[in-house]
Amino acid sequence: MSYPYERMVVVLFGYGLAFFIMGFAILGEALRPQPSKLAYNLRFLAAFGLMHGVVEWAEMFGLIFDQAGLSWATGTLELLNSGLSPLSFIPLLIFGIRALSDNVEGTKHLWLALPSLVAAWLLVSLLPFVMPHLAGEQGVGQAFLQSWQGAWARYLLYLPACLLAALGLFSYRRQFIEMGMPNIARYASLGGGAFLLNAFVAGMVVPTSPFPPAAWLNYDTFTRFVGVPPHVFRALSAVVIAFAVVEMLRFFGLAAQRSLAEAQRQALALEEQAHLQAEEWGESLAGIVKERTEQLEALATINAELSALQDLQTLLRLVVEKARQLLGVDVATVSLLEDGKLVIYSVTGANTKAFQEVRMSVGHGVAGKSVALVQPVVVEAYPAAQSITHELDTLMEEEGLKSHMAVPLKIGDRVLGAIYVANRAVRRFQPEEMELLSRLGNQAAIALENARLYQQVQEMAVLAERERLAREMHDSTAQALGLLRLGASTVSQFLKTGNIEGARNELEQMDKAAEAAHADVREAILGLSSTALPRRGLIPMLRDYLSTFGIQNQIEADLLVEPGEGYDLSPASDVQVIRILQEALTNVRKHAQATCVKVHIAAADGGNIRIVVEDNGHGFDPSQVARMGGQHYGLSTMKERAESVGGTLQVHSAPGKGTRVVLWLPRSPREGG
């Protein structure tokens, strides 16, 4: 090529690096459990970025080896490129097809394009063997085959893949606008436009070959017309694509924040509904006789007990026990709707285990009919009753149950399940008893919904914390991109002036910056994975984190836990404690130059928990902490996190004497606002 060798190396390096950064950034976000089709589709874009980054760096190293006279290495990389390059286009095709199929009506048939384009490329690749005159005078050799197959891979695979990816990002733009996220929509448009540019410079402009259209539109004709090779525009479009996609990943954080706010709003509405309903009940008690008053007082006690419970199974067991106790019946069950069926979750008073295996369709049996009608149902003479179905006659006979009553569990217009009671002796259930069971059902439904929303709010709080950390990782990635881009420009200037030593020094600085960014990303991903697993308690999560931290950073990391009562906290508190310890360990890695760090957990006076992080690093002067930039910010964040869960944090250090971070927490910490 007429373009200077050194510049081309820098261009290919930046080209591949941009796609690598995009791929790893997507993996850090999209591989975590997400209920979004976008998260799933982005995995294919990540696969394209990582594979195509390898392709571009293989071409870069091929130039380097060719310059060094290592023809065998150059040939090996060319073979790798000719095989991996077409494969890297397929995930991009899949991303574009999936994006359009999800967002644009009438595009399901686009899936036919994938096998059609791949088959077309394979057939065209074999044409030189069938029609050898296509190769002209040079004959069908390895060089011609690589040129022929590579060019047609770009015409038939990469060009449509870029166009479909661009259209897919444009379709997401409309979705983001409808969701009230105009900034994310702009980044989707930017990425789509960059893919259109890439479609031309990488999908139409190919190496010079004797066959059309490669004989007319190729690297040489493009370079003569524009002044620089197409690789420069490819690298620029890749940087823009990577930047736009990384910024688009902020969608997941915004979506999680909105879901958390909606869950909190629903919880407040339900709480208000419960308060209003309790007030209505209180006003109706004035004229009720002593027996009714005692029953309602019993209900108030049950409501308090139910409201204090968050475990679903314990709550359901309490409901059936109280129903049996209040109404003086022999058997009580509570069933919940699950995939259109009523499933018994808790039963009391039954002589057999057969109740636990019952799955009843809505409208069938006493409980099923109550759910279908959304009103209480009473059956006083079960064997002769014509108003219900009789699939459970055998079970009723074995249990000897004669009289039955069921009420629906509902929140507003939404039915959750049913409470069912039965008696072995014939009994006429009174309207007051039906009302009593209905009120118990209303309380149980509200308690069930509150338990579900409590769990959802807790999970959303944990998710919001993960998203915050993910955004921090994206920020550091963007900074690394900026530094590397500036460094690449500086290297290019040095190479222009022949300053090889300056270029070498600048590349060393770029390598250090890349290594620092890699360490930050690796530590951020480790932090995310420590809360992405199912809840296991503080000690197991911290033990796993310390083990991985020590291995990755070659620092001796020990965890010392004194025997005592359990140290498990709530999910939100676990997250805050883990984040404090992660920040402390990050300071050890970045600033302390320590070889050993110890984390000591013990019970303290007053029912508190004390956690100490101590290292043997060079320490610092606490009076100068305000001048320490990022470390000062980290210490402030650690103190704020400690206060958010009712704790306190102190930092002790001196130059040459290491650092000691002490965290005090109440054993049952309050949740922060």
pLDDT of res. 237: 93
Q: What is the pLDDT of residue 589?
A: 84
Return the pLDDT at 521: 62
Q: What would the pLDDT profile of 564-603 be if each residue is shown by its tens digit?
A: 766 766 666 777 888 888 888 888 888 888 999 999 998 8
Phi, psi of 558 (to 5 degrees): -120, 145
**Lowest-confidence segment of 367-381, 424-438, 506-520 by average pLDDT:** 506-520
CA distance 382 to 356: 20
Q: 417 and 334 in contact (C-beta within 8 Å)?
A: yes
d(CA 485, CA 200): 23
Strands (E), 246-354: 331-338, 341-348
More confident of the two residues 314 and 581: 581
pTM: 0.43
Higher pLDDT, 481 or 502: 502
Q: DSSP of 59-97, one letter per residue? A: HHHHHHHHHTT-HHHHHHHHHHHHHHHHHHHHHHHHHHH
Half-sphere exposure of 604 (CA within 13 A, CB side): 14
530, pLDDT greater than 60: no
Instruction: Inform me whether the pLDDT recorded for 478 exceeds 90.
Output: no
Over 80: is that where the pLDDT of 363 sits? yes
User: Distances in Å between the alpha carbon of 120 and those of 125, 198, 563?
Assistant: 8, 22, 69
Report the C-alpha gap between 525 and 243 in whole angstroms: 19
Residue with tokens 């050993």: 596
Q: Does the domain formed by 5-248 have CATH 1.10.287?
A: no
pLDDT surpassing 80 at residue 362:
yes
Neighbours of 183 (CB within 10 A): 12
For residue 137, name the pLDDT band (cuts at 50, 70, 90).
Answer: low
Which has the minimum average pLDDT: 488-497, 528-537, 609-618?
528-537
**Residue range 42-60, pLDDT digits in tens:** 999 999 999 999 998 998 9
Query: Would you kindly state where each structural domain of the chain is located, as residue ranges?
Result: 5-248, 273-456, 536-666
pLDDT of residue 305: 62
**What's the pLDDT at 532?**
45
Residues 486, 492, 495, 496: is their CA dihedral positive or negative? negative
Most confident range, picked from 58-67, 383-392, 468-477, 503-512: 58-67
625: DSSP letter = G
DSSP secondary structure of 535-603? P--HHHHHHHHHHHHHHHHT-EEEEEE-SSS-----HHHHHHHHHHHHHHHHHIIIII--SEEEEEEEE
DSSP 323-354: HHHHHT-SEEEEEEEETTEEEEEEEES-SSSG
Inform me whether the pLDDT recorded for 257 exceeds 90.
no
Percent of the chain with pLDDT over 70: 80
What kind and span of H or E run contains 359? strand 359-361
Domain range 273-456, CATH class: alpha beta
Greater confidence (467 vs 656) lies with 656
pLDDT at 672 over 50: no
| pLDDT exceeds 90 at position 612 | yes
Whether the CB-CB separation of 450 and 307 falls below 8 Å is answered with: yes
Has residue 529 got a pLDDT over 70? no
Residues facing 420 on adjacent strands: 333, 406
* Residue 662, beta-bridge partner list: 612, 650
Yes or no: say if 329 and 323 are a contact pair by the CB < 8 Å rule: yes
Rounded Cα distance, 333 and 380, in Å: 17
Q: Given this model, what pLDDT does residue 138 score?
A: 63
Give the residue among 250, 176, 194 at the shortest CA–CA distance from 26.
Answer: 250
363: alpha, beta or left? (left if phi > 0; alpha if psi -120 to 50): left
How far apart CA 469 and CA 294 sit, in angstroms, is: 53
306 pLDDT higher than 60: no
Average pLDDT rounded to a whole number, residues 628-642: 71
pLDDT at 641 over 80: yes
pLDDT reported for residue 238: 93
**Residue for token digits 């005078």?**
137
More confident call, 87 vs 108: 87
Q: Cα(204)–Cα(234) distance, rounded to whole angstroms?
A: 12
Assess contact for 589 and 597: CB atoms under 8 A.
no
pLDDT bucket at 20, cuts 50 / 70 / 90: very high
Residue 534, pLDDT score: 42
290 burial type by CB count under 10 A (0-12 exposed, 13-18 middle, 19+ buried): exposed
Q: What is the pLDDT of residues 164-212, one digit of tens each?
A: 999 999 999 988 898 888 999 999 999 999 999 999 999 899 887 777 8
Structure tokens at 105: 């009506």
Which residue type occupies 48?
F
With both helix axes pointing from N to C terminus, report the angle between 37-67 and 159-178 in degrees, rounded to the nearest 10. 140
C-alpha–C-alpha distance, residues 380 and 444, integer Å = 25
Contact between 560 and 589 under an 8 Å Cβ cutoff? The reply is no
* Confidence label for 673 from pLDDT (cuts 50, 70 and 90): very low
Check residues 165 and 495 and name the one with the higher pLDDT: 165
Least confident of 337-341, 381-385, 514-518: 514-518
Q: What is the pLDDT of residues 111-131, one digit of tens each?
A: 898 999 999 999 988 887 777
**What is the pLDDT of the chain when averaged over all its residues?**
80
User: How large is the average pLDDT for residues 9-19?
Assistant: 91
pLDDT (0 to 100) of residue 190? 94
pLDDT band at 239 (very low <50, low <70, confident <90, very high): very high
d(CA 144, CA 215): 13
Residue that wins the pLDDT comparison between 458 and 619: 619
Judged by average pLDDT, the poorest of 200-209, 352-361, 494-503, 581-590 is 352-361
CB 437 within 8 A of CB 264: no
Average pLDDT over residues 448-477: 63
Q: What is the pLDDT, as a whole number, of residue 200?
A: 93
Which pair of tokens denotes residue 269? 């509405």
What is the predicted pLDDT for the residue at 628? 55
Instruction: Fold for 536-666, please state it.
Output: Heat Shock Protein 90 (3.30.565)
Mean pLDDT, residues 479-503: 76
Work out the pLDDT band at 669, boundaries 50, 70, 90. Answer: very low
Which pLDDT belongs to residue 288?
Answer: 53
